Amino acid sequence: MKSVIVNDPKKITIENNYSFISAGIGIDKKNHIVNYRVNEDLALGNPDFLLPVVLEPAMSMKRGIVCNFAISEKLAKAIPDIQGIYRRLDPRLKIVPVDHGKDPLHSLTQAREIGCLFSGGVDSFYTLLKHKHEITKVILVHGFDIPLSDRILRKQTANMVHKVASGLNKGVVEVETDMRRNFLNRYLGIADTISPFFASVALLLSSQFKKIYFPACFHKPLSCSAIGHYRAYLDPLWSNGHLQIIHDGDDVNRIEKIAFIAKNNLVREHLHVCWMNNNGVDNCGYCGKCLRTMAALRVVGQLEYVNTFKRPLKLARLSKLVLSKTERIFAGDTLRYAQQLGRDPEIIAALNRCLSNKHGFNIKMWLISILEKLRQSYYWSRFYNIFPEKFARCIRAKVYAIILK
């Protein structure tokens, strides 16, 4: 069996105590380089953080993994369970051997920090505010939703996260990585990259953090459904002997999270849910996710106080939305919540009409998903290098507006 070769990572401390970590992943004669940059002088301990990057791609290619370093004992014991989850989700994947050295028990200082992955969305705001007395630092990761090449949006997002953290007296750790663009996107679908991407980042920080919260996207009854939202079971398995990863917030649904966070002033000034990102950290107020979130905010009586939407909620547009299966569940939760309150017949009628629309293949959203996959790729970064950033962002915004019109 051919193997995926994972080499021992190297760390360089650069200006202003930033840490730069690089590692090579060999497949046949090609060596993929994945890089991480952290805004702190990070102690590089166990190289466990590379295992999430290569495990599912290796299973997809039906190749064993050879790690030229030791993996922590706890994580090594979890590998069969992790592969089992992957295989249940996709029977085409093959259980593969993972060859690694024994953990030499790295002499790490006892980590003290407790962190939370944070993007400014509903889920991350819910987890941060729920555990605000415990969390000491928020973690912003560049290179997943926001491409590394989009420097303007990255700066705007970082400024927003620092303002939120400052308002709660928390620190901020920023991690930049090209792991998704340079490796994961070449071998996995977009949805499949979520858990390995953030698990890798979390394990990279295991010398500093003893616990990191992963905000849940879905209510627990959905987590093991045919939709494939498996993170509630997979995320904690990436914990090693130094770091505990907690999948948080799957005990409540989206509308309940919005009701919990919506009265907080930081949420009112900085909530960011728009995945199109055509208006920087402001929400377009036009796409399906913005409309569903605005509808939920109106149901809980807080829409007028949230200042991050560029357009008012148009019930006529909400009524015409064609939703995916997952989106229908979110909208259904909002509708039931509104019916229980019984005080806004207009939003109830609009949600009813929206849910009565025939669901299925949505060509507009399919086209946008293709554009988003391209935007995360190596080729889009080359496009950004050729043209000025503002021009590239303007072209993207115009194309999306034409599709959604």
Looking at residue 108, what is its pLDDT? 52
SS (H, E, C) 255-320: HHHHHHHCCCHHHHHHCCCCCCCCCCCCECCCCHHHHHHHHHHHHCCCHHHCCCECCCCCHHHHHH
Q: Which two three-digit tokens encode residue 337?
A: 């919540």
pLDDT digits (tens, 9 = 90+) for 117-168: 999 999 999 999 999 999 999 999 999 887 788 888 899 999 999 999 999 9
**Long-range contacts of the stretch 161-168 (C-beta < 8 A, 24+):** 161/118, 161/119, 161/120, 163/266, 163/269, 163/270, 164/118, 164/120, 164/128, 164/138, 164/266, 164/270, 165/118, 165/137, 165/138, 167/265, 167/266, 168/128, 168/132, 168/266
Query: How sure is the predictor about 96, in pLDDT bands with cuts at 50, 70 and 90?
Result: very high
**Nearest to residue 50, comparing CAs of 92, 6, 106, 109?**
6
Checking if the pLDDT of 309 tops 60, the result is yes
Same domain membership, residue 72 and residue 157? no
Same domain membership, residue 71 and residue 52? yes
The answer to the question of residue 222 being in a domain is yes
Angle at CA 365, nearest 5°, toward 359 and 370? 140
Looking at residue 372, what is its pLDDT? 60
pLDDT digits (tens, 9 = 90+) for 197-228: 999 999 999 989 999 999 998 887 654 443 34
Checking if the pLDDT of 388 tops 60, the result is no
Compute CA distances 365 → 217, 327, 368, whole Å: 19, 12, 5
Same domain membership, residue 231 and residue 118? yes
Same domain membership, residue 354 and residue 372? no
Q: Which two three-digit tokens encode residue 183?
A: 């490796």
User: How many domains does the chain fold into?
Assistant: 4
182 DSSP 8-state letter: I
Looking at residue 269, what is its pLDDT? 96
Task: Give the whole-number percent of the chain exceeding pLDDT 90.
Answer: 52
The answer to the question of residue 108 being in a domain is no
Looking at residue 325, what is its pLDDT? 76
Looking at residue 396, what is its pLDDT? 66
- Whole-angstrom distance, CA of residue 230 vs CA of residue 241: 23
Q: Which two three-digit tokens encode residue 259?
A: 């009701």
The answer to the question of residue 134 being in a domain is yes
Residue type, 22: S
**Nearest to residue 201, comparing CAs of 220, 175, 226?**
175
Per the model's pLDDT, the better-predicted residue between 55 and 40 turns out to be 55
Q: Which two three-digit tokens encode residue 205?
A: 């920080």
Backbone φ, ψ for residue 343 (5° rounding): -120, 5
Looking at residue 229, what is its pLDDT? 61
Same domain membership, residue 234 and residue 131? yes
Integer Rg of the chain from CA: 21
Domain that holds residue 371: 364-404
Checking if the pLDDT of 384 tops 80, the result is no
Looking at residue 52, what is its pLDDT? 94
Backbone φ, ψ for residue 25 (5° rounding): -120, 115
Residue type, 11: K
Checking if the pLDDT of 194 tops 80, the result is yes
Checking if the pLDDT of 8 tops 50, the result is yes
- Whole-angstrom distance, CA of residue 280 vs CA of residue 291: 17
Residue type, 268: R
Looking at residue 153, what is its pLDDT? 86
Checking if the pLDDT of 256 tops 90, the result is yes
Same domain membership, residue 337 and residue 222? no
Same domain membership, residue 368 and residue 385? yes
Same domain membership, residue 368 and residue 336? no
Count Cβ atoms below 10 Å from residue 338 Cβ, excluding itself: 25
> For the purposes of burial, counting CB atoms within 10 Å of the CB of 180, is it exposed (0-12), middle (13-18) or buried (19 or more)?
buried
Looking at residue 223, what is its pLDDT? 47
Give the mean pLDDT of 222-246: 76
Q: Which two three-digit tokens encode residue 325?
A: 């299966």
The answer to the question of residue 36 being in a domain is yes
The answer to the question of residue 82 being in a domain is yes
Q: Which of 248, 276, 299 is the last residue of a domain?
A: 248
Query: How sure is the predictor about 84, in pLDDT bands with cuts at 50, 70 and 90?
Result: very high
At residue 380, the 3 state secondary structure works out as: helix
Q: Which of 214, 248, 282 is the last residue of a domain?
A: 248
Give the mean pLDDT of 165-192: 87
pLDDT digits (tens, 9 = 90+) for 311-368: 899 999 899 887 777 788 889 999 999 999 998 999 999 999 989 876 555 666 667 6
Checking if the pLDDT of 236 tops 90, the result is yes
Same domain membership, residue 323 and residue 203? no
Checking if the pLDDT of 1 tops 60, the result is yes
Same domain membership, residue 278 and residue 208? no
> For the purposes of burial, counting CB atoms within 10 Å of the CB of 222, is it exposed (0-12), middle (13-18) or buried (19 or more)?
buried
**Nearest to residue 399, comparing CAs of 362, 370, 359?**
370
Residue type, 320: K
Same domain membership, residue 349 and residue 326? yes
Q: What is the pLDDT of the chain when averaged over all its residues?
A: 85
Looking at residue 227, what is its pLDDT? 38
CB 102 within 8 A of CB 46: no
The answer to the question of residue 325 being in a domain is yes
> For the purposes of burial, counting CB atoms within 10 Å of the CB of 48, is it exposed (0-12), middle (13-18) or buried (19 or more)?
buried
Q: Which of 78, 102, 126 is the last residue of a domain?
A: 102
Per the model's pLDDT, the better-predicted residue between 183 and 138 turns out to be 138
At residue 160, the 3 state secondary structure works out as: helix
The answer to the question of residue 9 being in a domain is yes
The answer to the question of residue 107 being in a domain is no
Packing angle between helix 51-61 and helix 194-204, nearest 10 degrees?
150
Same domain membership, residue 211 and residue 126? yes
Provide the CATH number for the domain around residue 195. 3.40.50
DSSP 196-222: HHHHHHHHHTTTTEEEEEEE-SS-HHH
